């Protein structure tokens, strides 16, 4: 199952140790790591991305769920990293790009206080014990949430509702008196602009999700081929 993982540590060195644990678990075949970043919360409440996986195909995943989560948890610093990686929709604070609920974000923020450091990763895991036992052993507090497609359905419903409103306004416009037509036309133009913007964001998210899925397939295929090569 694909999951978003956040492990909060007391200091930077422990977070890097946690990153090494993730890589070891990936090498062992216990999990698959699609991308990661180490995010430090500064004493003044700002955040700094200390290290991220921006090399090779995994780095392209920063434009989707992972990059958006970095942006939300990191604030301006995280947003800058996400934008540089071509974040879908252009907004790190757009929760629809993450695929996890706001309650998950709130839970992480309560623990990710100033001077704490978080290891943020997108992974695939069949069971939680390998990550939990290794991270807890080095002092990490683990948060995870399965990625969901529910928000995409909500977005589509929003667009459908706006289109229905637009159709109603156009029907009223056709029957309205001259003085009323101008006001209705302004509302029609504004709503149509919102619909087009929503459609464009939805398109960007679909394209980003497709790229992400393709990269994940490549990563898993490469791992399978490596295992086969060792066995032969």
Task: Read off φ and ψ for residue 125, nearest 5 degrees.
Answer: -145, 140
In this prediction the pTM is 0.64
Are the beta carbons of 65 and 85 closer than 8 angstroms? no
pLDDT by 10s per residue, the chain, length 232: 788 899 999 999 999 999 999 999 998 889 988 888 899 988 887 888 876 654 333 344 445 577 778 878 876 544 444 333 333 333 334 555 566 777 788 889 999 999 999 999 988 888 888 999 999 999 999 998 887 654 555 567 678 888 888 898 899 899 888 878 888 898 899 989 988 888 887 777 777 767 777 777 787 788 778 878 887 7
Q: What is the helix (H) or strand (E) element at residue 60, kind and residue range?
A: none
Identify which of 53, 197, 55 has the alpha carbon closest to the alpha carbon of residue 120: 53
Are the beta carbons of 166 and 192 closer than 8 angstroms? yes
If you search the block for the tokens 């052993």, which residue do you land on? 137
Question: Cα 30 to chain center, whole Å?
Answer: 23
Kindly list the domain boundaries of the chain, sorted by start residue.
2-148, 151-231
What one-character DSSP code corresponds to residue 37? E
């Amino acid at each position: 199952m694909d999951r978003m993982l956040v492990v909060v540590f007391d200091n930077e060195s422990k977070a890097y140790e946690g990153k090494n644990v993730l890589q070891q678990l990936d090498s062992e075949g216990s999990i698959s790591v699609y991308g990661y970043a180490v995010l430090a919360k500064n004493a003044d409440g700002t955040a700094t991305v200390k290290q991220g996986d921006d090399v090779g195909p995994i780095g392209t995943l920063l434009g989707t769920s992972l990059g958006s989560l970095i942006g939300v948890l990191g604030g301006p610093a995280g947003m800058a990293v996400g934008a540089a990686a071509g974040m879908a929709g252009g907004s790190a604070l757009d929760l629809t790009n993450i695929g996890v609920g706001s309650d998950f974000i709130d839970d992480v923020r309560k623990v990710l206080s100033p001077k704490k450091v978080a290891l943020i990763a997108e992974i695939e895991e069949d069971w939680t014990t390998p990550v939990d036992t290794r991270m807890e052993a080095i002092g990490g507090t683990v948060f995870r949430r399965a990625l969901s497609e529910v928000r995409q359905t909500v977005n589509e419903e929003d667009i459908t509702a706006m289109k229905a409103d637009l159709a109603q306004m156009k029907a009223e416009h056709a029957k309205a008196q001259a003085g009323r037509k101008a006001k209705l036309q302004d509302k029609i133009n504004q709503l149509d602009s919102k619909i087009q913007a929503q459609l464009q964001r939805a398109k960007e998210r679909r394209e980003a999700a497709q790229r992400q899925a393709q990269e994940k397939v490549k990563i898993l295929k490469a791992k399978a081929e490596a295992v086969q090569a060792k066995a032969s």
